[in-house]
Amino acid sequence: MSATKPRTLFDKIWDAHVVEALPDGTAVLYIDKHLTHEVTSPQAFEGLRLAGRKVRRPDATIAVVDHNIATDASRYGTIEDPESRTQVETLEANVKAFGIPYIPLTDKRQGIVHVIGPELGLSLPGMTIVCGDSHTSTHGAMGALAFGIGTSEVEHVLATQTLLQKPAKNMRVRVDGKLPAGCTAKDIVLAIIGKIGTAGGTGHVIEFAGEAIRALDMAGRMTVCNMSIEAGARAGMVAPDQTTFDYVKGRPFAPKGEAYDRAVAWWKTLPSDEGAVFDKEVTLDAATIVPQMTWGTSPEDVLPVTGSVPNPADIADEARRAQVQRMVDYMGLTPGQKLTDLKVDVVFVGSCTNSRIEDIRAAAAIAKGRKVASHVRALVVPGSGLVKEAAEAEGLDKILLEAGFEWREAGCSMCLGMNPDKLKPGQRSASTSNRNFEGRQGMGGRTHLVSPAMAAAAAIAGHFVDVRDYQPKEGV
Amino acid sequence: MRAFTTLTGIAAPMPLANVDTDKIIPGRFLKTIQRTGLGKHLFANMRYEDDGSEKPDFVLNQEPYRQAEILVAYENFGCGSSREHAPWALLDFGIRCVIAPDFADIFHNNSFKNGVLPVKLPREICEQLMEDARLGANSRITIDLERQVVVRPNGEEIPFTIDPFRRHLLLNGLDDIGQTMQHAPAIDGFEAKQRAAQPWLYDAKV
């Protein structure tokens, strides 16, 4: 590549991390930060042990438990589920044996790996970041190249601090204009997935750009990048800017003083050059976005909350018709039914998509002075112990508890059916998480993905509502 | 890793798009600390009733598909999470090749690392292979990785493309960590330079 050719943000981070370019185009790509948790790492450590290999750079990895832990006080005793206990104990034994930094459950910095990375300043602009978890794309909000890997690749990173990778293609999704009141980053990303589909980004790294993305705070950018994987993309990213630099400043693992200035000077060179070529471009007008909710069992099956359940009979394509029929049946829906007529049983505010302080504030703003409907179980699960502490300092826990929400300990919780927080068969949820797959939140559970404000409003009303009709109560 | 050269076997038809990793192996089965033993949980929610009995309509509960070594499906196979438990479960059941119009990136990657071959073929061809698969035991499909062809039961050969590096690793059953370790001097050099320029990336202590 000539030095003068305009490059994208992705190209620049990629180029800065190529250790060696192999003749067939594969790169030995250096990985700056590796995050790991209890679920996708045990077999990787076992592989190292069997091959007699050690961890090349223990200081470049950090471990935390998040997926299968309970989010109530019971977790501080003995973990009840024997398999979960084994996984947590295995991680603890592995980090000890291999000398890897570890944040234990009892540490207030513990939390969902994709929340604590940015929060602690472990995830920085310009970095390559990986984790055995598809939602690693979240860290792309920092202006980093961050992507999920499988367990074999976890082992590869532990052993070599690199990955063998072919460069992804460049895609830009531009969201122009201003986001209307009542809409959030979650609505932006759901609208994007609705437009391009769950394979729309396959083989690509998406750079999110445009006025509406620039206007988002870091938490909002993380929400958008988090769900890049639901658009099929390898990673999502947002070019670092003053919002990013201000966010990073002073975080525990971020560079300080003169090092910070040097870092910022480099980070400022990262945004895509004028004239850089994208293999694929999509644009969206933010002003047209309406609060979104998924109705089916794939994140692309999303509609404005003002919409109605699709009727399979109206669909010409046979395969799609069968698919829609299957989703309507699984989700227990009636074709033509208004989405706002759907009753909810469970509301979940949390997950690596929406469990940051900004998300908790959005839920609390709706909850303030109101009550959760009597038939609804509503959980608010902060993404980390530090988020929990910050929310409590603002009194958000009291607002939520008074309204009838449960206020839980940090973890992945009801996002993925791996810990005690699960839907029961047939239960319908309004969830701020990222996947509405069949059985994702528990066998037979029915998931509708929404923003934190939409979820909180559904908890109060007992059914889905258009949050624009449900604004915070003043002066209560 | 077991090498993959040629495979002739029964193909199970799964005419679904967006077969996600939660379908392939639901989250509750990710609590294992081993790579093996997941075959019994493969497609658990589609395969078993709540009481654990088999759902007779599900393809892998039918003969001859209990012996399937190939799976034919539609678009975006393996979308969703990065769980390598998905190819582990397929492999443990006995499926060593998935044929579909396209695959989600991480699943695609993970499959190669475990000797499960993902073969991308256009939708129309997948539809033909789906019909072949529906014919059952007398309709075996062959995947010849050496020659890069899928051979239909009627003898018709369908060429497919595959990344040459990955093909090489699969044909020889090679572990790519060993390959990468040959680049250790270059990795040392990279780290020395990066450490000088960005010392804050090194020696993080919790």
pLDDT tens-digit series, residues A71-129: 999 999 888 899 999 999 999 999 999 999 999 999 999 999 999 999 999 999 999 99
Identify whether residues B116 and B187 lie together within a single domain: no
Within its chain, how far is the Cα of A325 from the centroid? 29
Mean pLDDT of A289-299: 98
Nearest in space to A194 (alpha carbons), one of A272, A103, A289, A311: A289
pLDDT category, A418, cuts 50, 70, 90?
A: very high
Mean pLDDT of A318-335: 95
Specify the pLDDT at position A475: 55
Specify the pLDDT at position A80: 87
Residue A263 is assigned to a structural domain of this protein: yes
Specify the pLDDT at position B1: 80
pLDDT at A476 over 70: no
Residue A279 is assigned to a structural domain of this protein: yes
B-chain CB neighbours of A199 within 8 Å are 75-76, 79, 102, 104
What interface predicted TM-score (ipTM) does this complex get?
0.94
Q: Is B176 on the interface with A (CB under 8 A)?
A: yes
Residue B1 is assigned to a structural domain of this protein: no
pLDDT category, B88, cuts 50, 70, 90?
A: very high
- Percent of chain A topping pLDDT 70: 99
A-chain CB neighbours of B203 within 8 Å are 59
pLDDT category, A3, cuts 50, 70, 90?
A: low
Residue B20 is assigned to a structural domain of this protein: yes
Subunit contact A253:B204, Cβ cutoff 8 A: yes
CATH number of the CATH domain containing A138: 3.30.499.10
pLDDT at A472 over 80: no
Identify whether residues A220 and A311 lie together within a single domain: no
Question: How many domains are contained in chain B?
Answer: 2
Residue A474 is assigned to a structural domain of this protein: no
Give the nearest partner residue to B102 out of A199, A234, A443, using CB atoms: A199
pLDDT at B140 over 90: yes
φ, ψ of residue B102 to 5 degrees: the values are -160, 165
For residues A448 and A294, the answer to whether their CB atoms sit within 8 Å is yes
The predicted model scores a pTM of 0.96
Is residue A52 exposed (0-12), middle (13-18) or buried (19+ Cβ within 10 Å)? exposed
Subunit contact B164:A20, Cβ cutoff 8 A: no
Specify the pLDDT at position A300: 97
Which residue of chain A comes nearest to B111, CA vs CA? A150
For residues A281 and A172, the answer to whether their CB atoms sit within 8 Å is yes
Nearest-5° Cα angle at B14, B8 to B15: 125
CATH number of the CATH domain containing B118: 3.20.19.10
- 9-28 in B: which are within 8 Å (CB) of A? 15-18, 20, 22-23, 26-28
Structure tokens at A7: 């490059």
Give the nearest partner residue to A134 out of B17, B34, B80, using CB atoms: B80
Q: State the count of interchain CB pairs (< 8 A) between A and B.
A: 193
Identify whether residues A140 and A83 lie together within a single domain: yes
Q: Is A119 on the interface with B (CB under 8 A)?
A: no
Handedness of CA A8, A12, A13, A14 (dihedral sign): positive
Q: The domain containing residue A189 runs over which residues?
A: 1-289
How close is the nearest chain B Cα to the Cα of A470, in Å? 33
| Residue that finishes a domain, picked among A266, A289, A312 | A289
Identify whether residues B93 and B188 lie together within a single domain: no
- 221-280 in A: which are within 8 Å (CB) of B? 232, 234, 253-255, 259, 263, 266
Identify whether residues A6 and A107 lie together within a single domain: yes
Q: The domain containing residue B23 runs over which residues?
A: 6-174
Identify whether residues A296 and A279 lie together within a single domain: no
- 120-139 in B: which are within 8 Å (CB) of A? none
Mean pLDDT of B33-38: 95
Give the nearest partner residue to A439 out of B26, B114, B201, using CB atoms: B26
How close is the nearest chain B Cα to the Cα of A383, in Å? 19
